[in-house]
Structures are given as C-alpha cells and as structure tokens.
Amino acid sequence: MIHENITTLAQLKKSGYQTKSIKQELRDNLINSLKKKKPTFQGIIGYDTTVIPDVERAILSKHNILLLGLRGQAKTRIARQMVNLLDEYIPIVKGSEILDDPLQPLSVFAKNLIAELGDETPISWVHRSERFGEKLATPDVTVADLIGDVDPIKAATQKLHYADERVLHFGIIPRCNRSIFVINELPDLQARIQVALFNLLEEGDLQIRGFKLRFPLDIQFVFTANPEDYTNRGSIVTPLKDRIESQILTHYPKTIEDSKLITSQEADISDEQKQKIIVPELIKDLIEHIAFAARDSEFVDEKSGVSARLTIAAMENLISTAERRMLINNEKQTVVRLSDFAGVFPAITGKIEMVYEGEQEGSIRVAQNILDKAIRNLFVQYFPNPTKAKKPRKNQPEEKNIYKAIQQYFENGNVVDLLTDTSNEVYKNELDKVLGLKETIEHHLKENLANSELHTFMEFMLHGMAAYSLLSKFQLEQGNQFSDITSSMFNYGNDDVDDDLKELFK
C-alpha cells in the first residue's frame, strides 16, 4: 500500500484497507518471515534453539509474554526487536493521541472528528518504530502514569464538565494503543498497580476515575522479570500472572564461543583501538572464563546472576588498560597482557552481588579469586594438568613434567616482576630471562602459536603455574612478582610477602 497517496478516510476505504489487531499483525508477519527463513531477531546470540522458538510460538498463539530471567539476558532487547514484526506503516486519525484506527475509532476526539468531517477526515501514517512503549516498573509508578487521570487544567481551559470524557489525560498504556508495550521488572510494580492491569489484559477495558468507558485497547504486552525480584523484593500478583499467557525463561550463554560473540558484538571498541591494540584469542577466552567462574563462585550470589555486561565492560577496560600503557610508553602498537587484567577488576566488582562470605573477603580479593579460577580452568585446555606434575597417582606412569625447567629457574632464587605499565621491550626481556619458558611454549604449542601471542602465552604459563601452586605470585602495587613457592613461604619477613602467609607462619 502506497501510504503517501492516502490522506483521507474516503481514500483509505477505497484502498481496501482492513483493520487488523496488533497480535494478528505480528502473527501474519512472523509467518511470512518463517516461510522465507528470515531471522526473526537480530544479534540475539545463544537463543536459537531455546528462547527464540518459545517467543515465536507465543506470537503465533497471540499471547502476551513474560520474559523471566536474570539480569543481562537480553530480555529487553528481544522485546524491542518485536517491533520489526509489525507492518511498516499503519493509518491513524490525524492528531489522535492513542493512534485511533480510522475504521474503528476509540477516543471521543476521533469519533467527533469523523462525525463532523465524514469521509474527508484527515488520515496520517505511523511508522512501526513509533509503535513501541516501554516503562521501567518502580515503586513510585502510579495508575495515572500507566492508565490516566482527570486533568483539571484541561477542564478549566476548555470549560469542560468533569463528566465530559474530554477531560481525561491518557497515560502511557492508552497512548500505546495498536503498539507493543513493555513493562520491565514487573515484580517491582506495587500490587495495587498490577491489579489495575487485570482488565486491560483480559477484557481490554480502560477504567479511569469511575468513567464508564468501553475502551478495548489493542496492545501487545511484554513483561520482563528477574527471579531474584520475583521471590525477594516483590512478586507478580497471581491473577495478573494468570492473565499472561506465555512465560518464557531466558538464560546465560551456554558456551564460551557464544559468550565471545556477544562480547565482540556489544563491546564499544573504536577503530583506532582495534588497529593499535592486538587482543590474542587466549585473552578473549579468558575474559569469558571470568564470567563463567563468577557464576560458579561461592562468593557470588547465584540468585542475582552475573550479567553479560560483565564481560563487555571487562573487555572495554582491558583494551583501555593496554591503550593507556601504550600511550605512557610512547609506543605505536601493543598486545594485551595478563598483567593488564588489573584494569578489569572495576568491571568485575561492579557487576557481581556477593554473599556474606564474599563481603567478608572484600570485593578486590573476590575479583582476584575469580580471575585465578578462570586461569585455572583455561590453563588445562592448553597445557597438561599441573596437579599431576606435582604428585602422580599410585600405579600410574609418571607423565613428562613440562614445568620442571621453569620451576628450577625460580628454585635457584630468581624472581620475575611483571609491572602493569612497563614497556613492550622491558616486558619481553623480563619473560625471556626465564630459562626454559620460551622453549616450553614454542615446543608445546608448535605451529598454532602466532608471533604476537608468544609472550602472552609465556606470561599465561607463569600465572597458570601460580594458580596451581607450582610458583608463588605476589600482588605488587603495580603488577605481579613470581618466585619459587617454597622459598617465598619461608621468607615471610619480606615486605612483599602476602599478608595471609605472614599470618600463617607467626
């Protein structure tokens, strides 16, 4: 339909336009998309066989939808992308606040205008991008905000009686007539406000201050809720929950690869940063392992969840840490290091809710613990499990210990200081002096190792050995120091020794 040529009610009737409910509109367009094998939702990763089919089934069933899941699980993004399943343009009575259908007007404004002008009633067209409303449920939301109220100023200025329907000021829901309306964090909405939604969902009625209105609004409702809120801070009242036909559970990425794709898609990295900052795949994997380790951490509240925003913010911070170091040393290009992960801690501590034990440990210690666990989990994907190298099991042949030469270097009293802001040259020289380290990496990884990744893996080897207690790693003010674990335990008078070890050997 060429909407630019249709500007009056007569032209609309002549065009053969037929009124269609928004749920039918979504259903018809989804059917066309499925037949043509077009993706329904763009940029939603990891939901192809789980959440998206459930949403599609709900749309085909013409259901209102509740997306239930922990924070950072793309619930709002899914709701917003449903707009793409609407018709590109729909006609409305020109000037209507509630997008009145010219063939089935609801408001007094539209009915009076059509009664006055008849087929000459002016028509305007609304794009699908304007047919979306969203409200974050907060305790201060009122019925007037959502549904409407009597406007005394309008009554006074237009000299209208309070019994006149024209004194009503519509809230956000009536203004989303023929649109998709999303209420985020539904349990945070007060129970009495939720009750006001009953008739809207079941009968389509609109009731404002006792006005006898039969106002069948045409709205696709989408609600989002967090199970944490659902059980602790608030709840969805049972009659309202009963009226939401489809409840769909969302989830976090199930694989590291899906998580990497999400981070790559969402992280705000400039073209300049991409050119100057090299990020090895090892580092990208480690970022995602941090999120997985945090979700399994005994210090993190699993009911609260660990948002995908953690890895996105962590990647942005990691790139910025490497960029800052590069600028300080007046270098043109650099490779992200594990020592750069010191800049990631603010992204971790700001994205996790800790249990009591975590609060006692402190946010930075918990972040360091999560990073160590991530290193441990990733380390054994590249190298033999160091636990077996320390103490082979009985009746089993002793495996070749690839860590022995590196351990020997530190047993001879040597230490390695990897400082956060050190230059590329100093960083490489510090790693190169560890006898056997470079040779071990090159031999074990062989042709799979890129030149730019060599020293990243060398540092990763030291961090991994420390995580498995083959080496000692001390947190310096600006970096890490690696040394022999046995001598460091007994050298507890040294100022750099960890406070926990000092306490242990008092």
User: How does DSSP classify residue 102?
Assistant: T
Other C-beta atoms closer than 10 Å to the C-beta of 1 total 15
Segment among 38-52, 115-129, 164-178, 478-492 with least mean pLDDT: 478-492
| Helix segments in 188-270, DSSP class H | 191-195, 198-202, 227-228, 238-243, 256-266
Q: Same domain, yes or no, for 57 and 78?
A: yes
Parallel, antiparallel, or unpaired for β 65-68 and 246-249? parallel
Where is pLDDT greater, at 318 or 490? 318
Q: Same domain, yes or no, for 58 and 207?
A: yes
Residue type, 385: N
CA-based angle 479:378:444, to the nearest 5? Answer: 95
Q: Same domain, yes or no, for 108 and 180?
A: yes
Per-residue confidence (pLDDT) for residue 350, from 0 to 100: 82
Per-residue tokens: 68: 């239930």
Q: Same domain, yes or no, for 50 and 170?
A: yes
Q: Same domain, yes or no, for 299 and 410?
A: no
Tokens 């100023």, residue located: 153
Q: Same domain, yes or no, for 110 and 193?
A: yes
The pTM (predicted TM-score) of the whole model is 0.83
Boundary (domain end) residue, out of 249, 274, 303: 249
425, 413 Cβ separation under 8 angstroms: no
Domain tally for the chain? 3
DSSP three-state, residue 447: helix
Boundary (domain end) residue, out of 249, 269, 287: 249
Boundary (domain end) residue, out of 379, 408, 441: 379
Q: Same domain, yes or no, for 423 and 375?
A: no
Nearest CA among 208, 395, 366, 399 for reference residue 297: 366
Per-residue confidence (pLDDT) for residue 160, from 0 to 100: 65
Per-residue confidence (pLDDT) for residue 361, from 0 to 100: 75
Q: Same domain, yes or no, for 80 and 114?
A: yes
Q: Same domain, yes or no, for 321 and 356?
A: yes
Report the CATH number that the domain containing residue 33 is assigned in CATH. 3.40.50.300
Q: Same domain, yes or no, for 143 and 93?
A: yes
Per-residue confidence (pLDDT) for residue 381, from 0 to 100: 92
Q: Same domain, yes or no, for 188 and 337?
A: no
Q: Same domain, yes or no, for 345 and 404?
A: no
Rounded mean pLDDT of the chain? Answer: 86
DSSP three-state, residue 354: strand
Nearest CA among 144, 145, 131, 79 for reference residue 101: 131
The range of the structural domain enclosing residue 286 comes to 253-379
